[in-house]
Amino acid sequence: MSYHGGVVIIASWNVNSIRARLEHVTTWLKSRQPDVLLLQELKGTEFPADAFRDLGYEAVAVTQKAYNGVAILSRSPIKTVSTALMGDEADSHARFLETEVNHIRIVNIYLPNGNPPGSENFAYKLAWMDRLERRMRAWRTSEIPVLIGGDFNVIPEDIDCHKPASWIHDALFQPEPRGRFRTMLGLGYTDAFRTLHPTEAGQFTFWDYFRQAFSHNRGIRIDHFLLSPPLAVKLVSCVIDKGPRALEKPSDHTPIVVELDL
DNA sequence: ATGTCAGTCGTAGACTGA
């Protein structure tokens, strides 16, 4: 499939263990047939590349034991550009994968959660965002268009959670990460979902497992696609597919799907 | 503080992270 003159579908899904969610992911791939799927929270060193190859997807995965882990599946060849976020040689978390697929820079991120606020985890999150911002500045000057997708672990605005009061003590809602997210938009990147649905409340990508959060739609929008200007003008649709969150044994996140007419 | 789920270590259930 060529991206020239066609519609490309790119999806992102934090699966909370690829081993526990393999059936969900393969079933979803067969029904939705995205060109590219970004996965986060693989949670283990084993990655079932064969299962995806059988469905026509090439895969590149960055994994570690027990935690984190990101992968990109694609029906077109993937050129791996970087498997780590520049700026801290000591950072060994599997949270970043930069690739080139059909002349688009596709970057998959699993941004640190950072809870609780004020902790070492929180400082790591902010530093990680600063490092990402530096890359995003650098990418602006290159020819190739950029899509950054994944679990940002940031609730951008009050409209992106069911009730701000219940998130004010959470790292995902603090002014510092939210400010950094706004800075990224200020660099010229477009939040694909919010741009197409500027006032739509109750649109979430994550719901806690506790207290029937999903059935009450008490969630947050933390999985995002950011597009550089040449891709933003080709944005056709961006939707959240709540289907997989309603299945038995779901991930706490559900897929977000963006459509670009290139 | 609570709630639930997945992985680890190591064979039960406490622990960590989310």
**Domain spans in chain A, listed from the N-terminal domain onward:** 7-261
Nearest nucleotide to A252 (CA to C1') is B5
Q: What does each of the 262 residues of chain A score in pLDDT, given as a tens digit?
A: 456 669 999 999 999 999 999 999 999 999 999 999 999 999 999 999 999 999 999 999 999 999 999 999 999 999 999 999 999 999 999 999 999 999 999 999 999 999 999 999 999 999 999 999 999 999 999 999 999 999 999 999 999 999 999 999 999 999 999 999 999 999 999 999 999 999 999 999 999 999 999 999 999 999 999 999 999 999 999 999 999 999 999 999 999 999 999 9
Return the H-helix or E-strand segment holding A122.
helix A120-140
Check residue A1 and give its pLDDT: 47
Q: Supply the pTM of this predicted model.
A: 0.97
Question: In chain A, which residues from 19 to 48 place their CB closer than 7 Å to nucleic acid strand B?
Answer: 19-20, 43-45
A17 touches strand B (CB under 7 A): yes
Check residue A5 and give its pLDDT: 66
A115 touches strand B (CB under 7 A): yes
Nearest nucleotide to A212 (CA to C1') is B3
Token code pair at residue A205:
């990508």
- Amino acid letter, A99: T
Nearest nucleotide to A18 (CA to C1') is B6
Check residue A114 and give its pLDDT: 98
Closest residue to B18 measured CA to C1′: A113
Beta strands in chain A (DSSP E): 7-14, 36-40, 58-62, 70-74, 78-82, 96-101, 104-110, 146-151, 190-191, 206-207, 219-220, 223-227, 235-240, 256-261
| Architecture, CATH, for domain A7-261 | 4-Layer Sandwich (3.60)
Number of neighbours of residue A153 by Cβ within 10 angstroms: 25
